[in-house]
Amino acid sequence: MKRLTFFCLLVAGFTLPTTAQITITNSVFPAVGDTLHYHFGNQPGAINQIFTPPGGGQVWDLGNLQATQTWNQVMKNPATGMKSASFPSASVLFNPLNSSAEVYWQVTGNQILDLGYYGLDPLGLGLTLLFKKLPGLEQSWAPINFFDIHQSSSNVLTAFDAPLAPPVLLNLVPTADSFRIRITYQRLGSVDAYGTLTIPGGSFDVLRKKQTEYKSSAVDVKVAPLGWIDISTIGGQQVLPLGTDTITTFHFLNDLSKEAIAICTLNTAQNMVTGVQYKNLSTPSATYTPALNTEMVTYPNPVHNTLYVHFTNETGATYQFQLLNAQGRLILEQTVAKSETLRDIALPVANLAPGIYTLILQRNGIPVDQSTVVKF
């Protein structure tokens, strides 16, 4: 906790610059039906690119990243999960990379909370268990601005009967009644920089969030009549991969992308990037699925030549369609005058560069809907 307090004081000492930067709203929060597209890879010397002092107007170049793995993170209806009853407030469910585990998130208007998961235990015991985080651990918030500082903590307490325990535990305490896994999380997120980040396929205006997480794990055994006893160490020797891990990551976030543009994980010494998860721009696919009651629907999406837009047309209203690129610049604009019948328009996009665009619908000058459009 002292380290967290010191970090807060350190960040608070920075001088707030007067230049402008983006603000990230809840429009990038995940929803059921979204598919977030990521690559995983590394770039030698990346630490020199992303580990810069706090401040604005920065330029980071990860354009030489080499992809070694791909992940399409599908956001599912939590009601379809095996343990949905244990997470009644969940909004989305997804499976982690190369795993059948179920991760449950709660998405509100101003926050994303990690409620926990059902799957293999994190200690390598080979047990499939339910891990509920109480309270939910904050994944993100909205709006996100430069100089924001958020702190979150959570606890996991998962018990299981001795007959389910593997030999590594039963050999330690043959008379055990049951065991439990204890995990505590302390997470500090600080938005300490902003600028432009380049990854393979494009450049984006971003905020940089530095996240430091302290994860402590322990195992208890219940033995009558003593009750619960911590057996994380026996005779001063650690018998399982327990204790406290410090995980430091840099999250580069954009206000028009549901995917993080890049998430860089550092080693314990914070002098090397051990891996990068970054937005996959090479496989065009929509990252936004409109709800059925939205003001407009775009198709086809991804698009190559012509984008068609079906919209709700109120009699006597004037509609304006604005297409913005990933940097928020206006690329194309079309106005539909007052009409009682027109509900579909065609936007020519064949000459646009491949990438992610945002289409904004305005009614009488007031924004009423937006959609992410992928051009390939």
Q: Are residues 244 and 312 in the same domain?
A: no
Q: Identify the pLDDT of residue 158.
A: 97
Cα torsion 65, 74, 154, 227: sign: negative
| Domain, as residue range, for 301 | 296-375
Q: Are residues 126 and 169 in the same domain?
A: yes
How many residues are present in the chain? 376
One-letter amino acid at 38 equals: Y
Q: Are residues 90 and 234 in the same domain?
A: yes
- Identify the CA nearest to 362 among candidates 323, 315, 306: 323
Q: Are residues 135 and 190 in the same domain?
A: yes
Q: Considering the entire predicted model, what is its pTM?
A: 0.71
User: Which of 279, 310, 334 marks a domain boundary?
Assistant: 279
How far apart CA 262 and CA 121 sit, in angstroms, is 27
Angle at alpha carbon of residue 255, lines to 250 and 260, rounded to 5° = 35
Is residue 249 within 8 Å of residue 266, measured between CB atoms? yes
Task: Phi first, then psi: give them for residue 278, nearest 5 degrees.
Answer: -140, 160
Q: Are residues 135 and 238 in the same domain?
A: yes
Residue-wise pLDDT tens digits, 318-368: 888 889 887 777 889 888 876 655 677 888 988 888 888 888 888 887 777
Which SS3 state, helix, strand or coil, does residue 2 take? Answer: helix
Q: Is 211 a member of any domain?
A: yes
Residue-wise pLDDT tens digits, 165-222: 999 888 888 899 999 999 999 999 999 999 999 999 999 999 999 999 999 999 999 9
Q: Are residues 166 and 191 in the same domain?
A: yes
Q: Are residues 262 and 334 in the same domain?
A: no
Q: Are residues 227 and 144 in the same domain?
A: yes
Task: Tell me what the pLDDT averaged over the chain comes to.
Answer: 86
